[in-house]
């Protein structure tokens, strides 16, 4: 995957890709996103889902903090006064949610499909990953258009649209 796209993902999801630049003795993530950019949208969407609890909690905290510091009350809820305890409660919720963001260990293509490895996760998070991996088997790794698994080519299987399929693998 192109450097700019790699960088984009790491900047958008710093927690998830916190090991992107760790040494290779510690993580395979040092190799970056080892697949074609046709899967960028799949990886981007998956990344957003894996961070969604945290992002929601973070937004909730930033929201209450801003109103607490500026007006001291909600602009709705009949102008209910915000207490420091409520602010702290939301901060703790955010800290807890942060722990639910897994660390990505490796992202690569294997036998034509996406492989996405995390250090640990919830059942829901593993389901998102399974879905993304399945979707990659129907998405051209080169351009992102609908595709299917082809091959084996000179190396292995690969997923491609008609245009990015080597002539010998075009189905008639
Ligand atoms: Zn294609």
How much distance in Å is there from the Cα of 166 to the middle of ligand 1?
A: 11
Q: What is the pLDDT of residue 82?
A: 96
Element (H, E) at 51: none
Q: What is the pLDDT of residue 26?
A: 87
How much distance in Å is there from the Cα of 158 to the middle of ligand 1?
A: 11
pLDDT at 11 over 90: yes
Q: Which residues contact 168 (CB under 8 A, 6 or more apart)?
A: none
Q: Mean per-residue pLDDT for 24-49?
A: 94
How much distance in Å is there from the Cα of 150 to the middle of ligand 1?
A: 12
How much distance in Å is there from the Cα of 104 to the middle of ligand 1?
A: 26
Structure tokens at 131: 């879905």
- Strand, helix or coil for residue 151: coil
Q: How far is CA 169 from CA 54, 112, 123, 159, 162, in A?
A: 43, 13, 37, 11, 9
Identify residues whose C-beta is under 5 A from ligand 1, the ion: 140, 142-143, 145, 161, 164
How much distance in Å is there from the Cα of 139 to the middle of ligand 1?
A: 8
**What pTM, to 2 d.p., does this model score?**
0.88
How much distance in Å is there from the Cα of 14 to the middle of ligand 1?
A: 29
DSSP 8-35: HHHHH-TTTTTTTTS-TTT-GGGG-EES
pLDDT at 52 over 80: yes
């Amino acid at each position: 995957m192109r450097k700019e796209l790699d960088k984009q993902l790491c900047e958008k999801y710093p927690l998830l890709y916190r090991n992107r630049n760790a040494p290779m003795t510690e993580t395979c993530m040092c190799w970056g996103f080892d697949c074609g950019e046709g899967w960028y949208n799949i990886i981007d969407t998956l990344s957003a889902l894996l961070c969604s609890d945290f992002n929601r909690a973070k937004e909730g905290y930033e929201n209450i903090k801003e109103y607490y510091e500026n007006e001291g009350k909600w602009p709705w809820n009949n102008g209910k006064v915000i207490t420091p305890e409520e602010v702290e409660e939301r901060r703790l919720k955010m800290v807890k949610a942060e722990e639910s963001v897994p660390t990505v260990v490796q992202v690569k293509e294997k036998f034509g499909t996406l492989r996405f490895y995390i250090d640990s996760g919830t059942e829901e998070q593993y389901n998102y990953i399974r879905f993304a991996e399945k979707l990659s088997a129907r998405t051209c790794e080169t351009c992102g258009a609908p595709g299917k698994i082809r091959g084996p080519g000179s190396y292995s299987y690969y997923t491609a649209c008609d245009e990015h399929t080597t002539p010998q693998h075009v189905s008639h």
